[in-house]
Amino acid sequence: MNRLAGLARDPKIVIGSAITLLVVLLGVLGPLLAPHGEFDIVGRPFTHEGSFLGTDYLGQDVLSRVLYGGRSILLMSILATALGMVVGVTYGVLAAYAGGWVDELLMRTNDVLLAFPQILVALLVLSAVRQPSWWVIVLFVGLAHAPRVARVARGVALTYVRRDFVAAAQAVGEKRWRIVATELGPNLVVPLLAEAGLRLTYSIGLIAGIGFLGFAADPGAADWGQMTNENRLGLLVQPWGVLAPVLVIALFTIGTNLIADALGSHAAQGDS
Amino acid sequence: MSTAASHAATPAPSPEPDRRDTAQGRSAGRAWTRWILKRLGLAVLTLWVVSLIVFVATSALGDPVRAILGKDFAVSPERVAQIRAAMHLDESLPQRYWIWLSGLLRGDLGTSIANGVPVSELIGAKVANSAFLVLVVTLIMVPLSLGLAILAARHRGGPIDNAIQVVTLALAGVPEFVTGILLVSLLSTSVFHILPAVTVLPAGAMVWQRPLGLILPVATLVIAVVPYLARILRSTLVETMDSDYVELARLKGIPERLVLRRHALPNTLVPTVQVSALQLAWLVGGVVLVEYLFNFPGIGAALVDAVRNGDFPVVQALAMVIAAVYIVVNLVADALSILLTPRARTEMVA
Amino acid sequence: MRGLEVGLVGRDVDVIDGVDLTIRPGEIVGLVGESGSGKTTAGTALLGYARAGAAIVGGELDVAGHELRELSPTQVRNIRGVDVAYVPQDPSSALNPSIRVGRQLRELLDLHDIGTPEERDRRIREILPEVGLPGTDEFLARYPHQMSGGQVQRVALAMVFLPRPQVLVLDEPTTGLDVTTQGRVLATLAELCERFSVAALYVTHDLAVVASIADRVAVMYAGRVIEQGVTRDVFSSPSHPYTRALLAAIPHLHRAFALKGIPGSTPAPGRRPSGCRFHDRCRFVAEECTTIDPPPVDLGNGHEARCLRIAELPPWDPDDRVVADTAPDRVREPLLSVSDLEVSYGRSTVVRDVSLDLARSEIVALVGESGSGKTTISRCVGGLHGDWRGRISLDGVELAPTARARTVEQRKRIQYVFQNPYQSLNPRRTIEQILLRPLALFGVARGRQARDRAAALLESVQLGPGVLSMRAGGLSGGERQRVAIARALAAEPDLLVCDEITSALDVSIQASIIDLLEGIKRERGISMLFVTHDLALARSVADRMLVLQHGRLVETGLTAQILDHPQGPYTQELISHTPQLAAAFSDGG
C-alpha cells in the first residue's frame, strides 16, 4: 500500500502523468474540439489563414489536423508497446527461470536480434512491404522492442530467481508456473512497468519517425509523424505545420519518460 | 590477550587457499588469443544469421521487380523477364542467397537496381561521411557526458545536480528527429538564421570539407545520446562515491579531489565504456532519421532512398554494414571492459 | 587522547549523544553494542567524520593532542590516517578493487611526503612480514581480489600502521572471517598495538572477541555508553541490566547455557524513549526509570554504569542459566540417515563420504568453517540441490535428489529454514499469504480454519496476529526469521533443516530464536539439522554435533564430549581459536 502512496507523491510521477494524460486527452478528444474537418481546405497552402496555427501544404488547417492526428499514432504506440512487452517479458523471464543451456541459447539468439537497430528493422520491413497497414507497423515496432525488453526482463528476473524465497517455494513442491506467477511476478511489476514506460517513449518516436520518413500507413490522413514530413518544405514560411506536431510528440515523450524514470528509481529502492 | 599470540610472530601458514593466479606472459597471450578467437567466431556466426534475416526480409517478402517497374510491371513482360534474369530471380531462394552471400564474401556487394552502379561504389563515400559524423559525435559525447556526470556527482543534491538531472531527464526520451526539427527551426529558420538547414555538397566533396553543415546534425545526435549516457554515468559515479573503499579513502584523509580522481573514476571506466558502446551502436541506426532530415549524404539517407526505390541490393548492403558495426562495437567494448577490470583481466588468464 | 564527548545529528535526530570515552596509549578499548546502538558512528567520530546525512554537532574530540572540533576540514584531513587511523569493517569491499595493493599501501606516505621514496618502499616491505604477509614485488603487484579474506584484512592492518598513528579505530575488522583466521588477525593486531603504543578503539558486536582482546570495554545502547570499565570487571560483575541481558544471550563453549533473548528491539534514532533508554525492555524497570535519565554511577576502578537501580539488582551469577548436556545413554530412534554423500560443483568435490544420522526429537549441529560443505549437505537433505551421489533416507525410505521428485508427504516432513531472512521471504507478499500457502499445499487446513492456524503459528513464534496483514518487507530481521520458522512449522514437519539461521541477526535476537527452537523441539518433538559456524552456539542448541573440514566429517559425537574433549587436531584448533568470554578472567588473561 505505502509503495503506491510513495509513487503517487513523487513529483516526477505527478508531472509525468499530467503531461501524458494531457497529450492522450488531446489525441482522444481532439476530433471533437477541432474547428475544421481533417481534410477540409481552409485557405491557400502555408499561410496564416485558417485557425491560429495556419495552413499546411494543401491548405488544410494545421490545428485541426494536430487534433485529429493523435488517435492513430497513440493507439499504435500503445499496442506496439504492449506487444513488445508481452513477447519480450515472456522470453526473458523464461530464459532466466530455465537457466543453464536454455538460457544460453535464448540469449545468444537474442544477441543476434539485437544487432538490428530498431529503425533498421522498420526499414527492412518497409523495403518489402511498401504500403504497410497500421497493424504491420504495430507488429514490427512491437517485435523490434521484444529483444531489448527480453534482455531487461531477464536481468530483473535473474536477481529474484536466485533468491531463497524461490528455493523455498521449490522445496515445498510449488508448481513452476505458480512460482513464476506468485513469487516472481509481484517483484517484477514495478521494474517492468518502468521498462514499459520507456518502450512507450521509444514506440511513439519510432512510429512518428516512420511517418516522418514518408512511410505512414494512411498517406494523406492526419498523423503527427506524417505531418512533419508533409510540411517540411514549408518550414521556412510556415513553421507551425511542422512545429505543432513535433512539440506534441516531444511533450508526450517527456511525460512518459518521467514516469518511466520514477518507476525505475522506485524499483531500485524497493529492492534494498 | 589470551588468543595464541604465538601465531603472529611467524608469517601465518595461510590456511586459506592462496587465490593468486600465476599469470605468466605467455599464458596471458594465449588466453587472450583464445578469447578473441571465440568472440570472433561468435561474431561471424551472428553476422551469418544476420545475413539470413536480411536476405529473407528483403528478397522473400516482396517482389522487387514489381517494386522497380511500378506501373510498367503489367504492360511490359519482356522488361520483367530481363530484370528477373539479371537478378537471378528465376533461381531458387537458397541459390539466390548463395549467389548473394558468396558475392558478399568476395567483397562484391551487387549492383544497384536504381542506376546500375556497383553498390560498393555507390555507398563508399556515404559510409565515410556517416562514419565521420558518428566519430565526431562520439568524440563530443564521451567527455561531455563524463563531465556532466562528474559535475552532478560532486554537487550531489545541490542546484547544479538538480538542473542537470531535470534537463537530461527531459531530453532523454525525445526522438532525435524531433530534436533536429526544433534545432532547425530555432537556428536556421524562423528565430535565428545562422546555420544551414540542410547539408549541400558539391559533387565529389566530403562532409568534412563543409564543417558548417555538420553542426546541426552533430548537435542533434549529441542531444540524443548525451542525456542518457550522462544520467547512467552520474548514478554509477554516485554509487561508487558511496562505496566502502571511497569512504575508507576519505577516512584516510585523502583530499576529495584525489578521492574522485584516483579512487572513484577508475571504477566507473567500465560502465562508461559499456554504455558508450550502447549509445554508439544506437547512433549507427540513429543517423537514419537525422541524415534524412538534414539531407546529409550518408548511409542513413541512402538507406531511406534505397527503401523507397526498392533498390534491395543497396538495402541489403547497408543493413549488413550497420549490423556489422554493432557487432564490432560490442566486441571492442567487451575487450576494453576486461582490460579495464583487474578482476576480469587476471581471472581470464587463470 | 583524553576526554571525548560527541553528539551527532542526522535530520534533527540524535544518533549518539553524550558519549564519554578515554583511551590511553597502548590500550585497547572495546566498544560493544548491537546494531542501531551507534557504535560505528562513535568510532568514525574519532576521525572527525560522519556519514552523509549526519554531522558532529557537539562535544569535544581531543585526539592525539588535537581538538578536532576546532580544526578546519583540511586540518582534520591531514590528521586522518597519520595521527588517527581507521580499519574498516569489510576490507574486501574497502580496498579499492582497481588499484594494486602496493600503490594503496603507499598512497598515504606519498600524500604526506613521509620519508624519501626509497624509505617508503622499505617501510612497506618491512611492515608486511610483521602482519604475516610477504613483502615481495609479486605480492605488492596484486589486486585485492587476488588475496584471501584474511590476507586482505592483514593488508588493511599494514596500511593503517604504516604512518605510525597514535590512535586507531577498528570497526568490526574480523566480521566475515573464519574463526581460525580471526584468531590470527586478532593476535597480530594486539601485538602491533602494544609495540607501537597505539590507543585503539575496537568497535564490535561480539562480546567474546572483546573479552579476548580489550583492556577495557564500553557497552553502548541506543546512542549511549551505558556501562564501561576494565574488561574483567564488566564481564565478571556486569551492573547494567542491558549488559547482563547481553551476556545472558551469549553461548559458551564449555557450558550449555539456556540462552535468553531481550524482548523488543533496539529503538532507532528518533524513536528512543525518555528517561533510561532501556526501560521499555528492562526486567528491573521501576517508575522513575521512565522519566529520569540515569547519571553514571561509579563502581570503583573506573567501572561505571548508567542505571538508577544498581543497588537493588540481584548479584550476577553467570551460571544460573546452565542446563544439563544431553545424557550419553539417551535412547535414539533414527529418523534421517545420510550415507556416502558426495557432491561436486563442476570439477571440484565439495562434500565427500559424509554419513550421518539423526534421531527423533534430536538436534544435530553441523559445524565447520566457510567452504566446509555444511550448507551443501543441508541443501541436499532439503532437496534444494539435486546433483549428488549417495543415499539419504527418511524413516528408512530413500529420498529422491530434488524436492520436486519427492512425494508430497516427504516434502511436508522435511522443512528448510534459510540463513538470510531478508532473502527467504518474498518482500511483496503478506505474511498471511506466506503462511497460508504451505497449509493449503500440504492439506493441513483451509479457509477460516487456515487463518486461525496461521495466527496460532505466529503466536508460537511469539508474534502477534497483527503481523498477518503486513508484508515481509516491513518486518525486522528477527521478525522475518520468526515468520520463516512459522512457515516451516505450518507444514507440521518431522525435521527442520536450519541453515545458519541466526548468523544474520544480533546476539540478543539470536538468543531468542534459539530459545524458540528449544521450545519447538520440547513441545512438538521435531528433529533439527542445525548448520552453524559457531561452536559455542552448538553447545547451547545441539544434542550431538558433526565437525566438517573441506567436505569431510572429521569428528562426530555428543556436543559436550566433542567440545570438552576434542580428539581430532582440527577440532582442537577450532576450539582454541574460538574467542571466549571467560578467557579474559577465568583463564587468567
- Sorted by where each begins, the domain ranges of chain A are 2-271
Report the pLDDT averaged over residues C21-28: 84
Query: What distances in angstroms separate CA C455 from CA C469, C487, C512, one per listed residue?
Result: 11, 11, 20
Helix (H, G, I), strand (E, B) or coil at C341: strand
pLDDT at B7: 38
Say if the Cβ atoms of B19 and C147 lie within 8 Å: yes
Domain C334-421+496-585, architecture per CATH: 3-Layer(aba) Sandwich (3.40)
Residue from the list A108, A205, A258 with its beta carbon closest to the beta carbon of B169:
A258
Find the range with the poorest average confidence among A51-55, C130-134, C250-254, C391-395.
Answer: A51-55
Q: pLDDT band at residue B15, thresholds of 50, 70 and 90?
A: very low
The mean pLDDT value of chain B amounts to 79
Are C326 and C342 in contact by the 8 Å Cβ rule? The answer is no
- Read off the pLDDT of residues C520-551 as tens digits, 9 standing for 90 and up: 888 888 889 999 888 888 888 888 899 988 88
Q: Which residue of B has its CA nearest to A242?
A: B181
pLDDT at B6 over 60: no
Q: Which residue of A has its CA nearest to B292?
A: A213
This model of the complex carries an ipTM of 0.84
Q: pLDDT band at residue B334, thresholds of 50, 70 and 90?
A: confident
Query: What distances in angstroms separate CA B339 from CA A51, B333, B343, B345, one per listed residue?
Result: 61, 10, 9, 6
Q: Which residue of A has its CA nearest to C442?
A: A172
Find the range with the poorest average confidence among A184-188, C108-112, C149-153, C329-333.
Answer: C329-333
With residue C85 as reference, give the H or E element that holds it. strand C84-87
Using CB atoms and an 8 Å cut-off, which of residues 34-63 of chain C contact chain B?
44, 47, 49, 51-52
The answer as to CATH 1.10.3720.10 being correct for domain A2-271 is yes
Cβ contacts of B86 within 8 Å, gap of 6 or more:
none
Residue from the list C415, C420, C438 with its beta carbon closest to the beta carbon of A164:
C420
Say if the Cβ atoms of A125 and B57 lie within 8 Å: yes
Cβ contacts of C136 within 8 Å, gap of 6 or more:
none
Are C327 and C252 in contact by the 8 Å Cβ rule? The answer is no
pLDDT at C3: 43
Of all residues in chain A, what percent are helix, strand and coil, respectively (each to 5)?
75, 0, 20
Helix (H, G, I), strand (E, B) or coil at C364: strand
Say if C285 is an interface residue toward chain B (CB within 8 Å).
no
Cross-sheet strand order for the sheet of C397-398: C348-359, C334-345, C388-394, C397-398
Using CB atoms and an 8 Å cut-off, which of residues 476-515 of chain C contact chain A?
487, 491
Site of grid cell 572540533: C69
Q: CATH 3.40.50.300 in chain C: give the residue spans.
A: 2-83+165-312, 334-421+496-585
Max mean pLDDT range (A37-51, B79-93, C352-366): C352-366
Q: The C-alpha cell of C457 is what?
A: 503459528
- Which of C587, C524, C579 has its CA nearest to residue C205? C579
Using CB atoms and an 8 Å cut-off, which of residues 176-235 of chain A contact chain B?
198, 201-202, 204-206, 208-209, 212-215, 228, 235
Distance from CA of B242 to the nearest CA of C (A): 9
Are B245 and B263 in contact by the 8 Å Cβ rule? The answer is yes
Distance from CA of A270 to the nearest CA of C (A): 9
Using CB atoms and an 8 Å cut-off, which of residues 180-209 of chain A contact chain C?
182-183, 186-187
Q: Which residue of C has its CA nearest to B4?
A: C187
**Phi, psi (5° rounding) for residue C84?**
-130, 125
pTM (2 decimals)? 0.81
pLDDT at C198 over 90: no
Say if B341 is an interface residue toward chain C (CB within 8 Å).
yes
Residue from the list A12, A213, A242 with its beta carbon closest to the beta carbon of B181:
A242
Instruction: Give Cα B255 to chain centroid, integer Å.
Output: 37
- Read off the pLDDT of residues C157-181 as tens digits, 9 standing for 90 and up: 888 888 888 888 888 887 777 888 8
Q: The C-alpha cell of B168 is what?
A: 537530461
What share of chain C in percent tops pLDDT 90?
1
Say if C107 is an interface residue toward chain B (CB within 8 Å).
yes
Say if the Cβ atoms of C429 and A168 lie within 8 Å: no
Q: The C-alpha cell of B43 is what?
A: 561474431
Site of grid cell 512533419: A228
pLDDT at B254: 83
Report the pLDDT averaged over residues A229-246: 81
Q: End-to-end distance of chain B based on CA atoms, in angstroms?
A: 41
Say if the Cβ atoms of C406 and A163 lie within 8 Å: no
In B, which residues are within 8 Å of C77 by CB distance? 253-255
Say if the Cβ atoms of A235 and B197 lie within 8 Å: yes
- Which of C303, C302, C300, C278 has its CA nearest to residue C290? C278
Between CA B37 and CA B35 the distance in angstroms is 5
Using CB atoms and an 8 Å cut-off, which of residues 8-47 of chain A contact chain B?
12
DSSP conformational letter for C335: E
Report the pLDDT averaged over residues B195-206: 63
pLDDT at A4: 59
Cβ contacts of C187 within 8 Å, gap of 6 or more:
B1, B3, B4, B5, B6, B7, B8
Q: Strand C28-32 relative to strand C199-204: parallel, antiparallel, unpaired?
A: parallel
Q: Which residue of C has its CA nearest to A182?
A: C429
In C, which residues are within 8 Å of B255 by CB distance? 74, 77
Are B176 and B289 in contact by the 8 Å Cβ rule? The answer is yes
Q: Which chains touch A (3 or more CB pairs under 8 A)?
A: B, C
Residue from the list C76, C90, C146 with its beta carbon closest to the beta carbon of B20:
C146
Find the range with the poorest average confidence among A32-36, A140-144, A180-184, A196-200.
Answer: A32-36
pLDDT at B68 over 70: no
Are C359 and C169 in contact by the 8 Å Cβ rule? The answer is no
Report the pLDDT averaged over residues B275-288: 86
Of all residues in chain B, what percent are helix, strand and coil, respectively (each to 5)?
75, 0, 25
In C, which residues are within 8 Å of B245 by CB distance? 93-97
Please provide the DSSP assignment of C60-99 as one string: -BEETTEEGGGS-HHHHHHHBTTTEEEE-S-HHHHS-TTS
Residue from the list B251, B263, B346 with its beta carbon closest to the beta carbon of C146:
B346
Q: Which residue has the higher pLDDT, B37 or C92?
A: B37
How crowded is the C-beta side of A243, counted as CA atoms within 13 Å? Answer: 19
Say if the Cβ atoms of B3 and C583 lie within 8 Å: yes
Q: What is the CATH number of domain C2-83+165-312?
A: 3.40.50.300
Between CA C371 and CA C360 the distance in angstroms is 28
Say if C82 is an interface residue toward chain B (CB within 8 Å).
yes
Say if C184 is an interface residue toward chain B (CB within 8 Å).
yes
Q: The C-alpha cell of B70 is what?
A: 511500378
Find the range with the poorest average confidence among B208-212, C80-84, C164-168, C556-560.
Answer: B208-212
Residue C499 pairs in a beta bridge with: C531
Are B329 and B277 in contact by the 8 Å Cβ rule? The answer is yes
Site of grid cell 504500403: A131
- Which of B131, B111, B67 has its CA nearest to residue B317? B111
Distance from CA of C153 to the nearest CA of A (A): 27
